[in-house]
Structure 1
Amino acid sequence: MEETGIFLIVLLVILLLLYFLKQQWSHRHFPPGPLALPLIGGLWRINFGIGFNMDTPIKLAEQYGDIFTVWGGNTPLVVLFGLEAVKEGLIDHSEDFSERPQSPFFGTIGRGKGILFSNGHVWKQQRRFGLVTLRKLGVGKKSVEGQIEEESQQLVELFVREKGQPFDPALPITNSVSNVICAMCFGYRFPLEDKTFKELIDAIRFTIEFATTVWYALYEMFPWAMKHLPGPHKHAFRATEMLLSLSRKEIQKHKEQNSFQEAHDFIDFYLLEMEKRKNDPTSTYDEENLAQDIHDLLVAGTETTAASLKWAILLFANHPDIQDKTYKEIEDVLCSSSFSYQDLKKLPYTNAVLHEIQRLKYPILFGAPRQTTNDVKMRGFLIPKGTAIVPNLRSLLFAPEHWESPREFNPKHFLDQNGKFVAREEYLAFGAGARVCLGEQLARMEFFIFLVNLMRAFRFQLPPGVKKINEEPRTGLTTPPHPYKVCAVPRCSSLL
């Protein structure tokens, strides 16, 4: 009996060894990376080795090169590191890398619909509609600036109420930025005290924060088990459903009012398109795709721009010399109270500061993941169809070979010797290729208009007794600053 037990154990070890060797053989064409162990893959190298933070890819790239593979169980994740690898992947192989991975969690969140998580014909049709409609709503034109201006003035009023005393600007900023998207989608802004609006903000925040937790990783690796277990993943799904439910209610309201006959917002234009395409068998225009589109715009359009504004105020408080120089240029050039996004061209230093904020404090952890649509040969490696790709945009923004002082707040990175603004090819903060950020133009307009109005109204100072605010980011799907307090001191006595 004892001999039988020993035999079975030996047999099991041999079978596991054979399975492991077979697994390694099947991985041979992939880029190198941490040894993939059974069940956990290469995650051991991160969790029990170098640790997980924004510098983790740097350490892996130093060991394995600018294209490497990290295995999560049996699922490969190919990381592109540095300018050449990222450009080759996102630009040279733009169509090959144009899909989104359909992971268990994000597959459930996105349902294969909308703009962010869809693929193929659905994605192409929804994305094109999104681009065209944002232009119709005034993105990139003077018409949308009025809505951004209104929200920025609302934010100024909220800051005025603090009377120059220390306060946390995070929630007011997030609310104001989110209301820009809400107005474009629904046709109106929410009062800040509105219960539904508070639930919307909380839902967006929780969904983003959940996506880098241990619970998220467990769901991706063991969805068949996690579906039946309680935990924060259930809360994340409820948050998604809350946003979708709100979108469906707004869609129904628009239908009942028949408002789309004279379209004024995203829902109106979409319902009008549905009516035009109702006899088109290739159409993907339906209410569920519309609800998912709104969900995607709310999530993508709130947190990143809000994070950039939070960082801007923090950095100005920590670096008063840069704040004062930016303010002086704004006042010298923009003589009247009114201004437009086009005026940014007249403000080289301010333009450099805005770019430097989003470079130094890039608001996303690495870059939105892609998925290969075909087998791709790259750098001598074969990346099979359906492989998840992570373009590490942060690696471009912090590369010491491209930036004089990559870890410092230095607007000179975007200025030539004559003080003129210089665009940098290493600055791919909004991505590149087929999946370049849909809302890039809107985000740029918001960042500029909000910041100019805040700068003209206040000088941001450290609270009494505080020598410097923490500049280390919180690590999540997005990378906002840790909660902080600042003094928004009015520049004009009329604001007191």
Structure 2
Amino acid sequence: MESTNWLLSLITLSYTKSVFYLCTLICSCVTLLLIRQLLRQRRPRGFPPGPSALPVIGNILALATEPHVYMRKQSEIYGQIFSLDLGGISTVILNGYDAIKVCLSHQSEVFADRPSLPLFQKMTKMGGLLNCKYGRAWIEHRKLAVNSFRYFGSGQIMFQRISEECMFFLDAIDEHKGRPFNPKHLVTNAVSNVTNLVIFGQRFTYDDQDFQHMIEIFSENVELAASAWAFLYNAFPWLEYVPFGKHQRLFHNAKKVYDFLQLIIERFSQGRIPQSPRHYIDAYLDEMEQSTKDKSVSFSKENLIFSVGELIIAGTETTTNTLRWAMLYLALYPSIQDKVHKEIDSVLNGRPPTLEDKQRMPYVEAVLHETLRFCNIVPLGIFRATSQDTVVHGYTIPKGTMVITNLYSVHFDEKYWSNPGVFCPERFLDVNGNFVKLDAFLPFSVGRRHCLGEQLARMEMFLFFTTLLQRFYLQFPNGSIPTVSPKLGMTLQPQPYSICAIRRQQ
């Protein structure tokens, strides 16, 4: 009995010591992490000023709702160039046209890198196209993408195929026979099909369930990637081991998308003839084959998957949301819609639009430009980083510093826009009604990382918008007016709304 008690006492003592040592170890690790985090929060010498930050988490909580608006308000206090602490990640914020131009245009190469954020590393291993670090890999992938969009995404053949997609789009709307419907699904499918023509060489039908599901996941991830959870994950990557939270949903979605992309890449590469590319995938595989002996070349099957996914999402989100916002605002302002109808009828006289008609339709162009300005589809662009030490406006910005360009502040910069909070297409017209280009208009960003699909996007917007308004009059059902407050994410998209497309009498 005594020996048993002695053994139990020994076990209890060993267990108690183990728990004590474990708790001590955990407390020591947490203390070291906190010290490390606090040291990271110290601004480098000569760094731009900024608002005071909370210990450990910094200014992350301030970005939980409308971060672009918060940043613009802070610029009124600290100037066009200021800094935020995103959980120990010292970040420079560029606000207003002047600051963004001096950095992204005058020092284009310096501000062309991407930050090495844990989220990007987890999602794409800093590979692919959009998140690739500045250097040879980015140059190789950017050149291939630009050439592919130029070769497969322009010219008369591409124009005809977009025009055909417009007809599929209008016929799908016609099936609603003037009854209320949510336009998101149809607009997203129509727009994504234009990018699909470049990447895969063909379109997907609007009832292709697998592809539609992938697009829905993409859209959800665009929202999740700008959530507070994403910022917290970048600051504290050990959150990967926390089994709940939006970051886990993000990773789950990404895996599903990449698995699906791998399957359709294999499908559309079948029947490929080397050096006779039919689409972007063929062109990429050609580059892979040519560089098999050069191990420093970045073309790989994994980077192909990342690149295809990024091109689909980049080619879909901006144009889709622009058209959805345009439909909403035309229904909201019937007088603007009437002017659009008059110009379309006058110029086209019942025939389908051509690209040459853009020059003859200044008011249509003005409405599209005002939609891009007012709705700020990508308010913070895609995060950048400095590729080397630099000095801007007397501030020292070290190499590798994360940089956020607040494009929303450019489009609401009162130095360049009169009454920027008012939706007014006429601001893009001169006294004679001619369309005018304005400098402080950067929806596709600027510099080395500007949107490579800008020309194709502009062509899409014009053709989809013009053909839509040529056939239909847009109005809200029963006089109900949806909210114009955006759904927050990496892009600003409208909240779900219903609209009626009434056949016009021509």
How far off its partner does 1:99 sit? 0.8
Corresponding residue of 1:487: 500
Alignment partners' CA distance in 2, 1:297 and 1:472: 27
Report the residue type matching 2:55 in the other structure. Answer: P
5 Å-filtered alignment, 1:5-404, equals 26-43=43-60, 52-119=66-133, 120-139=135-154, 141-335=155-349, 337-404=351-418
Q: Would the aligned equivalents of 1:142 and 1:340 in 2 still touch at CA under 8 Å?
A: no
CA change 1:461–1:282 in 2 (3 A) is same
**Which whole-Å deviations, capped at 9, do the CAs of 1:248-270 have from their partners, x for residues lacking one?**
22332344423455322111122
Asked if the contact 2:330/2:336 (under 8 Å) is kept, the reply is yes
Give the CA RMSD over aligned residues: 2.3
The Cα shift of 1:376 comes to 1.0
Amino acid at match of 1:487: C
Structure 1 residue 241 displacement after superposition: 2.3
The structure-2 alpha-carbon separation of the partners of 1:217 and 1:24, relative to structure 1 and needing over 3 Å to count, comes to closer
Deviations 1:257-290 (A, max 9, x none): 2345532211112222323333445432222222
| Worse-superposed segment, 77-86 or 394-403 | 394-403
Distance in 2 between the 1:267 and 1:33 partners? 45
Contact 1:218 1:226 (C-alpha < 8 Å) held by counterparts: no
Cα 1:470–1:170 shift into 2, 3 Å: same
What per-residue deviation string (whole Å, max 9, x for no partner) do you get for residues 389-422 of structure 1? 0111111111122112211111111111111111
**Distance in 2 (alpha carbons) for counterparts of 1:101 and 1:328:** 48
Secondary structure at the aligned position of 2:477 is classed as coil
Residue 177 of structure 1 aligns to a residue whose secondary structure is helix
d(CA) in 2 for partners of 1:134 and 1:18? 49
User: Which residue of the partner structure matches residue 21 of structure 2?
Assistant: none
Question: Cα gap change, 1:227/1:143 in structure 2, threshold over 3 Å: closer, same or farther?
Answer: farther
Total equivalences in the alignment: 474
Instruction: Write out per-residue CA displacement over residues 15-46 of structure 1, whole angstroms, 9 at most, x where no aligned residue.
Output: 99999997676534210101234311233556
CA 1:25–1:230: 2 relative to 1, 3 Å? closer
Distance in structure 1 (CA, Å) of the matches to 2:40 and 2:300 = 43
Change (3 A) 1:25 1:77: closer
Q: What's the CA shift for 1:336?
A: 5.4
Post-superposition shift, 1:492? Answer: 4.2
Question: Tell me, what secondary structure is at the counterpart of 1:257?
Answer: coil
Aligned residue for 2:489? 476
Q: Secondary structure at the match of 2:94?
A: strand
Equivalent residues of 2:80, 2:96 under 8 A apart: yes
Distance in 1 between residues matched to 2:231 and 2:239, nearest whole Å: 13
Q: 1:19 to 1:292 in 2, by over 3 A?
A: closer
Among 419, 425, 449, the alignment partner of 1:411 is 425
Which range moves more in the overlay, 255-264 or 59-68?
255-264
Change (3 A) 1:17 1:282: closer
Whether the aligned pair in 1 keeps the contact of 2:123 and 2:251 (CA below 8 Å) is: yes
Q: Secondary structure at the match of 1:360?
A: helix
Aligned to 1:11: none
Native 8 Å contact 1:254 1:260 kept in 2:
no
Unpaired segments ≥5 residues, structure 2: 1-31
2:83–2:93 contact (8 Å) kept in structure 1? yes
Check conservation: 1:53, 1:475, Cα contact below 8 A: no
Name the amino acid aligned to 2:321.
A
Contact 1:462 1:487 in 2 (8 A): yes
3-state SS in 2 of match to 1:38: coil
Identity percentage of aligned residues: 37
State the AA in 2 paired with 1:267: I
TM-score normalised by L of structure 2: 0.88
For normalisation by structure 1, the TM-score amounts to 0.90
* CA deviation map 1:357-405 (0-9, x unaligned): 1111121132221100001111111111000101111111111221122
How big is each residue's C-alpha offset from its partner over 1:83-120, in whole Å with a ceiling of 9 and x where there is no partner?
Answer: 11010111111000001112111221121211100012
Structure 2 distance, partners of 1:16, 1:157, is 59
